[in-house]
Amino acid sequence: MNFALFPMGSHGDVHPFLGLALQMQKRGHGVSIATNGLFRDLIERHGIEFHEVGTAEEAERIQGNPDVWHPRRGLVLLARQMILPYIRRQFEVANSLSRARNTTLVGSALGFGVRFAHEVHGFPYATLHLQPSVLWSRFASPRLARLTWMSPNAPVWLKQCQYFAGRWLLMDRHILKDCNAIRESSKLAPIRTCSELLHSPQRVCAMFPEWYAPTQPDWPVNVVHTGFPLWDENDTDPLPSNVREFLDSGSPPIVFTPGTGNSQARTFFKAAVGAIQRTGQRGIFLTRHTEHLPEFSDATIRHFEYVPLKKLMPHAAAIVYHGGIGTLSQALVGGIPQLVVPMAFDQPDNSERILRLGVGTRLWPSQCNAALMAQKLKHLLESQSIQLASKEIAKRLIANDGLKKTCDHLEKPTY
């Protein structure tokens, strides 16, 4: 079989697709990845065929926009600059690959162009959802921002009204008209809302466990849970010597990371420096964007551009991060407490699920200062219930093999 994968987003969005591609390649399938040029070297270095959909400069420009991490403006930016401009490019690549190789298309929720290619030509098509926030439900509504939360006991009609309003304000009013213009040019019927395009009508893989986000009555009927993907770059290699030396030189550190695509995290790291000083802990700062790091001379803090979390988590005391699903899943496997500072996209919803699981706590960005962060960290490190819950969840994930289960499901012959 041949598969063409279409991830969109940051490293946390692309890594699971690359891990899946490698799993497929081991099974003898032909596989290619079509995504932003920012990831060309990473993908080709692992021996996977690459097709460019968007340039590295375009991705860097989006990541450098301060609005990208705003809870409302970030979603609008996502629609205008990460979905709409790439519909035709995805469509062209998908059309080319499927016609030439009888290829199954595998996209994300942002793969509107992949969905159009499926509708026009009938190519087999599956959607992978890395996070449950894109699977809206009027029974268990995902939390999309600090001020949009409704109690689980809120009336269903009220949750539905909130969803309709949010869908219109954050996406449909900005790109629905243009989407329908593209559909008309391809002789496709117009859609009433962009949310119709989020899920494949054939196969949808929820790449997280059932206990993390249980199936809801109003989810698409073809959703199958396959588990966390848990692939990390270089995660089979030993820890770099400089990382190992720091780990061996003292107590387990707290890991701080605002996400691989976040270049707007100066406030986050400034609070982290102060929190470390207040708690007397050690810290590891992970970011590829050194321009937003504050000055620090404390020997208890060390900065690294990248360390595989799968290797690092067992040596950490806790993690402070943005709530991205990739980091979250690695922290769950590592069995360590989590402090989530959710900014946008799926992060608020993921933070809500961490609270429900009892494995961590939350600090909203507007509260992100040294004193409050130190207070939250002190609670994490001293709470026996959080420590115990973290270890129990890690035990659940010992047998997790999300990439294998996803590949098994995609290999099934009937689409």
The DSSP element (H or E) to which 67 belongs, if any, is none
235 Ramachandran zone, left/alpha/beta (phi>0; psi -120 to 50)? alpha
Q: Flag whether pLDDT at 52 surpasses 80.
A: yes
Which one is predicted more confidently, 100 or 395? 395
Q: Flag whether pLDDT at 165 surpasses 80.
A: no
Contact 289, 262 (CB under 8 A): yes
The answer to whether domain 2-230+400-411 has CATH 3.30.420.40 is no
- Tokens found for residue 338: 């989590």
Could you give the dihedral angle defined by the CA atoms of residues 270, 273, 277 and 279, in that order, rounded to the nearest 10 degrees? 100
Any long-range contacts for 58-62 (C-beta under 8 Å, 24+ apart)? 58/85
195-223 residue pLDDT tens: 999 999 999 999 999 999 999 999 999 99
How deeply is 398 buried, as exposed, middle or buried, from its count of CB atoms within 10 A (0-12, 13-18, 19+)?
exposed
Residue among 116, 2, 111, 102 nearest 48 (CA):
2
- Euclidean distance between CA atoms 66 and 9, whole angstroms: 16
3-state DSSP call for residue 105?
strand
- Euclidean distance between CA atoms 256 and 304, whole angstroms: 11
Do the domains spanning 2-230+400-411 and 241-396 agree at the CATH topology level?
yes
The pLDDT, as a whole number, for residue 137 is 86
Contact 281, 374 (CB under 8 A): no
For residue 282, CA distances in Å to 219, 246, 247, 257, 328 come to 43, 10, 10, 14, 21
The DSSP element (H or E) to which 360 belongs, if any, is strand 360-362
What is the pLDDT averaged over residues 304-324? 95
The pLDDT, as a whole number, for residue 356 is 95
The pLDDT, as a whole number, for residue 140 is 83
The pLDDT, as a whole number, for residue 151 is 66
170-196 residue pLDDT tens: 788 899 999 999 999 999 999 999 999
**In the chain, where the domains are located:** 2-230+400-411, 241-396
Residue among 78, 64, 13 nearest 265 (CA):
64
What contacts 56, CB < 8 A, 6 or more positions away?
A: 36, 37, 38, 40
Residue among 246, 340, 248 nearest 301 (CA):
246
Q: Flag whether pLDDT at 80 surpasses 80.
A: yes
241-272 residue pLDDT tens: 999 999 999 999 999 999 887 878 889 999 99
Contact 378, 172 (CB under 8 A): no
- Looking at residue 188, what DSSP letter applies? P
Averaged pLDDT of the chain:
91
The pLDDT-based confidence of 160 (bands split at 50, 70, 90) is: confident
Q: Look at the domain 241-396 and name its fold.
A: Rossmann fold (3.40.50)
- Tokens found for residue 145: 């921002």
- Tokens found for residue 210: 């059932």
